[in-house]
Amino acid sequence: MEFDGGDDLIPGNATRRDFLRKMSVAASAAAITGAASSQPLRQREIKNWDASADVVIVGAGAAGIAAAIEARRYRVKALVLEKFDVAGGTSSLSGGVCYMGGGTPLQQALGFADSTENMYNYMVAAAGIHAPRDRIQAYCEGSQEQFDWLVANGVRYAQKFSAEKEVSRADASLYYSGCEKVFPYRDNARPAPRGHLPPTDDLTGGRSLMRALLTSAANLGVALTTNVSVERLVQAGDGAVIGVEVIDNGERRRIRARNGVVLAAGGFIHNPSMLQRYAPELNRCSAPWGRAGDLGMGIRMGMSVGANALRMNQGFVILPLYPPEDALKGIVVNLNGQRFVPEDAYYGLMGYEIAYRQDGRAFLIIDATTDYAPQDYRFKLAAHADSIAALEAALKLPTESLQRTVDYYNRFAQAGQDPLYQKSPHYIAPLIKPPFKAYDLDLTRAFCPVVTVGGLHTNLNSQVIHVEGDIIPGLYAAGRTAASTVLARYIGSGMSIGEALFAGRRAGAHAAQIKR
C-alpha cells in the first residue's frame, strides 16, 4: 500500500482504515514483492461474479487501448480497467513518437526510401545481442499497416520532415529518432527516418495520439472504467486465467473474463523496491519517467501465476546531451579518461552506455570554441581549467589519461576525422581553446529520465509464457508489462509506443477470437 500516498490520513475514513487492517496479513507476503499481495484467487473461492466481459484489459495506455480496439473488431465485449482518474497511460505524457518504417506513406511522401529488410537490418544491429529476431521481423512486416491503422483511428501526421536530432518544431511529423545515421549502424542499413509523431505546439504528441485512440475506442464500443485498480488474477483449476479481482471505490469486486485478461499496466519505474531488487542500474538514475501507475502490478500478477519474466534489469535510459547539438562537438569520457561511444549517438544509446557499461558515470569535455553552456537544469559543471592536464587533475582522472584521449582526438579532428567512433563531420572539432570545461554526467545527478523495459515473457500473440515454457491460457501482456523488442540498447524513440501498439493489438485480436 506504499503508493497510496496517505489516503489513510483522512480523519473519519474508517472504511479505509479497516481495509488497511485487513490488508495487514497480505502485507507480510508483500514484503517479498514490495507491494500488496498479488496472489491469484482460485475459481472455487468465487461464489459469484460482479461483472463480466469477453476481454478484460488492465490499463488504459497505448497497449491496453490498442488491445481493446482490436478486440472490438471481432464484436466481443472489451472492458478496460484504469487504476487512475485519467486514461492514456504514460503514452499520453510522451512525445507520441511511433517507430515505423519499411516505406510508410509518410516516408514515401517525403522522399525517403526504406524497406522491410532495411528496417530489420537496422533494428537488429541497434538492438544487439538481446534482439528477438522473430519479433523484430514481425514488427517490421507489420509496420506499414500499423501506420494505416493509426491514421484509420484518427491519428494525424503532417507531411513535414525535421532534420533535428530531437524534434522541437511544432509542425514536423518525421525524423531520425534513433542511431540510423550514427556509426556503425549507418553501415548496417541505409539510414531512413522512422520516428513518426503527431505535430504539436508544445511537444505533447502523446496527448494527441492517445486522444485519438481513446476517441476511436469509445466510438467502437469499448467500455472504459477509471479509478478501478486490478489487484489479483482469478485462476481456474487448470491454470487458465478467467478473471480479475479489483478494488472499485473501496470495494473488492470480481470480474469474469470469458476469453482472456490482457495485462497492459505499464512497467515498474515507480516501484522503488522492485527497482532495487531487479534493476539497481535504473534505481540510481535521477528521473523515473512515466505516469504514477508504473508500479509493476501487471508484472507481479503475471508472476503470481507462474509467468516468466525477462530482462528485468533493463531500462530505457535517456541522457539528453542535445539539444543544443553543439554539445556533440565535445567528447564524452569515462573515469579512465577514455571515450566509449560516438558522442552523436541517439540519447538512448548514450544513456545505455553510461548506465550499463560505465557504472553510471561519465563527463562531457568541451572547450571555449564550442558555444555550449547549459544554463538549464540538466548538467552541472564538474570542473573547468586552462589546460587539459589541469582539468584531468581536477576530475581526479588517471595521470595523462584524458591528455592522451584529447591529443589523439585532436590530431584527427583537425582534418575533420574521428577514426575511433566516426562521429559525423558536422560534430567534429578539435578541443584547443581554453578554458576547458567538464560537465558531470553522473546519472544520479544529471537529468536522466528512465523507464523499465523488462517484463513478462510473451509469444508473438502476446500470450504470457509460464516459467516451464507453456502458454498460460487466458493471459496476455503488452506494452511495458511485457518484455519485447524494447531493450536497454534502445533502438530509437517510438519503440516503446510502437511495441505497445504491436503487442496490444495482437493480444486483443487473439483473445477476441479464442474459443473457450
Q: Does 6 participate in binding another protein (rule CB under 8 A)?
A: yes
Pick the closer one to another protein by CB: 28 or 249. 249
Least Cβ distance, residue 466 to another protein (angstroms) = 32
The whole-angstrom separation of Cα 26 and Cα 22 is 8
Binding part of the chain for another protein, among 67-75, 157-165, 290-298, 410-418 by CB under 8 A, reads 290-298
Q: Which of residues 377-396 bind another protein (CB under 8 A)?
A: 377
Q: Does 170 participate in binding another protein (rule CB under 8 A)?
A: no
Write the single-letter amino acid at 142: G
Pick the closer one to another protein by CB: 376 or 468. 376
Pick the closer one to another protein by CB: 288 or 348. 288
Q: Closest by alpha carbon to 293, among 36, 29, 86, 41?
A: 86
Q: What is the DSSP letter of 307?
A: B
On whether the CB atoms of residues 495 and 486 are closer than 8 A, the answer is yes
For residue 337, the SS3 value is: coil
Q: Which of residues 223-262 bind another protein (CB under 8 A)?
A: none
Pick the closer one to another protein by CB: 37 or 271. 271
Q: What is the DSSP letter of 417?
A: -
User: On the CB side of 478, how many CA atoms lie within 13 Å of its CA?
Assistant: 35
Among 165, 194, 196, 291, binds another protein (CB under 8 A): 291
Least Cβ distance, residue 60 to another protein (angstroms) = 14
Q: What is the DSSP letter of 475?
A: E
Q: Does 18 participate in binding another protein (rule CB under 8 A)?
A: no
Least Cβ distance, residue 92 to another protein (angstroms) = 8
Among 72, 194, 196, 270, binds another protein (CB under 8 A): 270
Q: Which of residues 76-135 bind another protein (CB under 8 A)?
A: 84-86, 92-93
Sign, CA torsion 487/492/493/494:
negative
State CA 73 to chain mean position distance.
27
Q: Does 268 participate in binding another protein (rule CB under 8 A)?
A: no
On whether the CB atoms of residues 432 and 365 are closer than 8 A, the answer is no
Pick the closer one to another protein by CB: 2 or 117. 2
Pick the closer one to another protein by CB: 241 or 362. 362
Least Cβ distance, residue 200 to another protein (angstroms) = 10
Task: State how far the alpha carbon of 297 is from the alpha carbons of 30, 88, 162, 227, 477, in Å.
Answer: 12, 17, 38, 15, 12
Least Cβ distance, residue 94 to another protein (angstroms) = 9
Q: Which residues contact 275 (CB under 8 A, 6 or more apart)?
A: 268, 269, 282, 283, 288, 452
Least Cβ distance, residue 317 to another protein (angstroms) = 13
Q: Does 267 participate in binding another protein (rule CB under 8 A)?
A: no
On whether the CB atoms of residues 483 and 496 are closer than 8 A, the answer is no
How many residues of this chain interact with another protein, rule: CB under 8 A? 32
The whole-angstrom separation of Cα 31 and Cα 37 is 9
Binding part of the chain for another protein, among 200-208, 276-284, 329-337, 361-369 by CB under 8 A, reads 200-208
Least Cβ distance, residue 90 to another protein (angstroms) = 8
On whether the CB atoms of residues 252 and 245 are closer than 8 A, the answer is yes
Q: Does 27 participate in binding another protein (rule CB under 8 A)?
A: no
Question: What letters, b where the CB count within 10 A reaches 16 and e where it falls short, cover 381-398?
Answer: ebbbbeebeebbeebebe
Among 46, 76, 236, 287, binds another protein (CB under 8 A): 287
Among 102, 178, 267, 290, binds another protein (CB under 8 A): 290
Pick the closer one to another protein by CB: 357 or 380. 380
Among 96, 198, 449, 479, binds another protein (CB under 8 A): 449
User: Apex CA 372: angle with CA 369 and CA 373, to 5°?
Assistant: 125
Q: In what order do the strands lie in the sheet with 380-385?
A: 331-333, 363-366, 436-440, 380-385
Least Cβ distance, residue 255 to another protein (angstroms) = 22
Pick the closer one to another protein by CB: 202 or 468. 202
Residues of this chain that interact with another protein (CB under 8 A) are 2-3, 5-7, 9-10, 84-86, 92-93, 202-204, 206-207, 270, 286-292, 376-377, 444-445, 447-449
